Structure 1
Amino acid sequence: MLYAIYFIYGLCVMFYFMMSWLFYRKDKEMLSRLVTVLMFVIGLQCLKDLFFIKPITELDEIDWMVVTAADMVAVPLYVFALIELCSPTSLTRRTIVFHELLFIVPFVLLSLTRDVVFYYVMVLEAAVYGSSYVIWATFAIPKYNAQLKQRFSYTENINLGWLRAIFFSFTFILLIWIVDCINVNYTLEALYMISSLVVWMFISYYIYKHESVLDELSDLAEGSNEETPAPAEASDTEMSEIGKRISTLFDNDRIFLNPNLKVSDIATEIGTNRTYVSAFFNKEAECTFYDYVNRYRIEYACNLLTNSEENIVQIAEKSGFNSSQSFIRVFSKIKGTSPTKYRKEENV
């Protein structure tokens, strides 16, 4: 069993350091930098633990607690990445310092006093802290996805639907980790490391594919800042004129065929503020930008389904969808049937 654990830790060290390098090279945005640091720290933790695997049962109880508590100091790094995913630009230096101190202070006290109370305080703190942010994220993810639909006509590589499934896995891992912290066991250690490695493979894949939405959502973030005043509301006349220009873009220019269409693209075309454009869809059109664009795309696709012999993949591409899966999902939601069934029914 001991050799198997050495092998598992070796895999983890290579994986986390490799991910740290990849995210470092990806871009200079906050999310990539946070994941770079997180992956590097987890890699260092795995490397450190390699020196304590064999004598772990021989360690003095307090020494073992100090070694384990050192890993807990990195817990806020997981939360920072989660916050930046669910609420871009909301993370501040003050928040980072405060959250880290919550774990650094009891760790220092444990190291200096050798009092086991501080260890169990850290275990309880990590469990409550992690669980509270999982609960926070269950509300933050739908809010984030709703904001995307106000500004984007697509969801591929920008939504966080995948994160919900990850939470169930993390809950399982958190339970294993808590038990392992209280009662050290080689089997639990191996199960914890393998589970963490597999989950982080999926997380790294999705985060690496994740496209930046900062530019498009920046004014939404500014609107929540009391120091930055929100743009004045457009008058009824201005809103009517915006609506006419948008109708021309969609009806005559067929701008909806752009698969990566965003509210900022519309605002640029008609020469106005993207906040006004977004307000038009929400208030005047009474739907999100995402729904508005995709209704046009689906109607265009219906015409192709009825009057052409092109397959679903070709029709999806010509109608402005990034993938056939996305096309089928949106089509079924709007029309209440699949594209294939619609074609058969219309051509009877």
Structure 2
Amino acid sequence: MILYALIYFLNGISLAFFITAGMRMFFYARRTGSRPHLLFAICLGWMALIQVKEFFCNFIPFYNYEVLGPAFTFPDLFTLPLLSFFFFELVMPGRINLRYALRLLAPFALLGGTYLVGLLFFDRTIYLSLGEVIDDLPALLPATLLLYVVYAAGYCIFAFIRIVRFSLLYTEQIAQAYSFTERIHLRWMRWMAGILAFYLISYIGIIAFTTSENYIVFTFALSLAVWGVLYGCVIQYRIPKIILNYWRSQPAREQQPEENVSEKNERIEALRAQVAEAIDTRRLYLNPGLTIVDMAAECGTNRTHLSQFFNNELGLSFRDYINRCRVEHAVRLMADHNYKIEELALLAGFGSTTTFYRAFAKEKGETPQRWQEQHAQSKAQPAESTALPGAETQAEELPEKVGAAATVE
């Protein structure tokens, strides 16, 4: 009795959460024009309908959470393609169109439709376990039901692999276009996709092998926890506009006429001087929202040439180069003043303390506090290196390619 009361309670809490979160996400998507947030609002709305279905099913003892019964499984597992559209839109902005969506939805609709049509011509049977479904093969309804569950599990694996693959490409593009990652990175999505895949496959296993009330409670609790964390991540996410251009014009973006070796070298040297001037004099890296488009405009070039310069000449992405400049600026500030770490992060151009910690540890191999303690008594040197930040290795091997450096502030 207590378990049933807990089931109804969790069912009601879940319904309230999905309705509230779905409405908030929908209005946010309308205000910002964000396709990913709109797709996620659709997912939340679909989950709210599932909770309504569960609520009414629980009133009928004969059908009590027997999701392997008539068509109970299909609405639940239809969440898979809907949620995958949201993830695909995040890692491949603008590439999810109606034709692509219909192709992914077709097997789910076909199997679900076949089952519903079969109910009109075959006796309906309640299957309490996957074993009962298998024992009734090769009848149409259990075969269709089994194919649906197997396909859903396989789709989970397919979607997870695709999400991880394209999220890595997305991360590379972010590093080439932005000097910051606050609220636009997708590190959370890779492990969140893994958790969701585990949740959905576990859910399939639970509904296939048991109808125990304990597992019903576990499913509701796990669903609330997973969707709650995912909602928290999504509501904080911002859509990086530059990434849209990378994906949509990737095959032939910013085509430039061919250059001979002499012209290329002259352009690189001129760009080296422009970058050094932008860093040394104007200190563009102190802008927390600096993008490669902004810096390209300041240097009188385009983002493609500038990105190639950082990657080919300095061996760094745009983000790594700018963060290296910021870290060096923070080190100089440490030598002259006893700032708090939060103050250092802001003064050095970082958008958050977390990003400052990560970049500093990457460049110096230790935390800012540790560095500050070890160099508390040190004084700033009268001059810095005469190479661009990030070009130390190139300066040793190819000194003729190295330009002016950041001056001491």
TM surpasses 0.5: yes
Paired residues, what number? Answer: 345
Distance 1:78 1:153 in 2: 30
After TM superposition, the score normalised by the length of structure 2 is: 0.79
Distance 2:233 2:4 in 1: 32
What stretches of structure 2 of length at least 5 have no aligned partner?
120-140, 378-409
Q: Report the CA distance between 1:343 and its aligned residue.
A: 2.1
The amino acid of 2:282's aligned partner reads D
Distance 1:186 1:233 in 2: 69
Shift of the 62–242 alpha-carbon distance from structure 1 to 2, 3 Å rule, reads: closer
Aligned-residue identity in percent: 24
Please provide the CA RMSD for this pair.
2.1
Is contact 1:305–1:339 with CA below 8 Å preserved after alignment? no
Aligned to 1:318: 347
1:197 aligns with 2:199: no
Correspondence for 2:236 among 175, 199, 209 = 209
The alignment partner of 1:280 has SS state of helix
Distance 1:274 1:230 in 2: 9
After TM superposition, the score normalised by the length of structure 1 is: 0.92
- Bigger Cα displacement from structure 2, 76-85 vs 322-331: 322-331
Which structure has the greater CA radius of gyration? 2
1:141 aligns with 2:167: yes
Aligned to 1:97: 102
What stretches of structure 1 of length at least 5 have no aligned partner?
none
Distance 1:168 1:70 in 2: 22
1:75 aligns with 2:102: no
Q: Report the CA distance between 1:286 and its aligned residue.
A: 1.8
Deviations 1:30-54 (A, max 9, x none): 1011011111111111112210013
The amino acid of 2:199's aligned partner reads I
Distance 1:63 1:162 in 2: 33
Shift of the 40–199 alpha-carbon distance from structure 1 to 2, 3 Å rule, reads: same
Q: How does 1:1-348 map to 2 (within 5 A)?
A: 1-26=3-28, 27-55=32-60, 57-58=62-63, 64-114=69-119, 115-182=141-208, 183-213=210-240, 215-225=241-251, 230-232=254-256, 235=259, 236=264, 237-348=266-377
Would you tell me which structure has more helix in proportion to its own residues? 1
Distance 1:241 1:62 in 2: 68
Distance 1:192 1:121 in 2: 22
Distance 1:39 1:209 in 2: 16
Distance 2:66 2:235 in 1: 40
The amino acid of 1:220's aligned partner reads Y
Shift of the 175–97 alpha-carbon distance from structure 1 to 2, 3 Å rule, reads: closer
Distance 2:26 2:65 in 1: 38
Shift of the 221–304 alpha-carbon distance from structure 1 to 2, 3 Å rule, reads: same
Is contact 2:80–2:152 with CA below 8 Å preserved after alignment? yes
Is contact 1:154–1:260 with CA below 8 Å preserved after alignment? yes
The alignment partner of 2:199 has SS state of helix
Is contact 2:179–2:323 with CA below 8 Å preserved after alignment? yes
The alignment partner of 2:225 has SS state of helix
Q: Report the CA distance between 1:284 and its aligned residue.
A: 2.3
Distance 2:255 2:54 in 1: 53
Deviations 1:275-325 (A, max 9, x none): 222222112222100111011101100011111021111111100111222
